Structure 1
């Protein structure tokens, strides 16, 4: 099941990227952001799913400490990048719906590329300090991680070092990123909904909501899971529930 879903995800996102790159009529900010999101999703899932598949097929799967730290960094970097990119895409929709006359002036291709690059740079910088601190922890106990990938809390449980600093830093960083970009994203959609309600044309209603519906669905599912996993107090972390939430 996991392999099937993973392959479908790879094929669908690759097809989206190929279509955006090869079709001249899609060289627009809206589709460039969508191509970035598809590229992000390929690497976001690839950071964890192949190792998960190997774990399902074998009784004794190991991962080196360096690989574990690398997986941690890429997973959280991609997560932070997605938060920023979803906020940027929501702002793009807001300008398109609420300010259509000036949209082509405000959101030009160079500006779009700068926003995209900023999302990736900001996302990869966010967990960098936490990654460095984790790489310096000592692991001297039973080194069996209670997860299907190198998530933060399971790593801390394995360390025999004092993890207070890195836990506090990681928790603060994830909370700041999530609780900063989630309100920005939802406020953009709030303005969109208000603007659409004021429209008298039923066709305009249908077009606006059909355009934003899939994005709102992604935002809702994504933020519900990461808020539960990374904003809830670490002391209340339940490994079984955490694994289920991570799967979503």
Structure 2
């Protein structure tokens, strides 16, 4: 049986590390990407196992449906990692509704669309692992991140509720909440902002993408069947 893992936002950072971790654990990985086909292709080519790029726009229901259909044609859709996300940070008074809505659309509604599309094949198989990537910001807030924090906090509530709905069907739903990770998304922040985020962690350093990916790989494994509805921080203690 070929177990398929679909990772949205798989072309870089946490997503790329997660694709590699899942490929190493024996999954056939679909490296989901929205726009950067070249980067997704490289992630797939460098994976220590079977992997291929797959375009999926998490804001488009038809694109999501096509991606899930492709996954089920390749094998059993066993794992979904909702990692696609955006951060459009600003103080609330400068954050117009369109920017707020876009953050919610990608980070929260996107996870809803992908999870909903994956649910039917997972329930039929009576097995599934959904892992949603949130943020320590969802748990403690941060200046200038009202939209981002709202989207990630919503993802936690969504995950806990879905975990209750499908737990008896062999499907688990969990959240990983990273702290400050050096990725292309966080590279857009200024040096001062990055240093402030790094200093919040008792470890005094950024979280490595591989550290997040290892937690995701555990949650995606067979031995994690009794872990559901959990929010697991990988944040160097920043959420303490």
Q: TM-score range by the shorter chain?
A: under 0.3
Which of structures 1 and 2 has the bigger CA Rg?
1
TM-score by length of 2: 0.26
TM-score by length of 1: 0.26
Q: When you count strand as a share of all residues, which structure comes out higher?
A: 2
Q: When you count helix as a share of all residues, which structure comes out higher?
A: 1
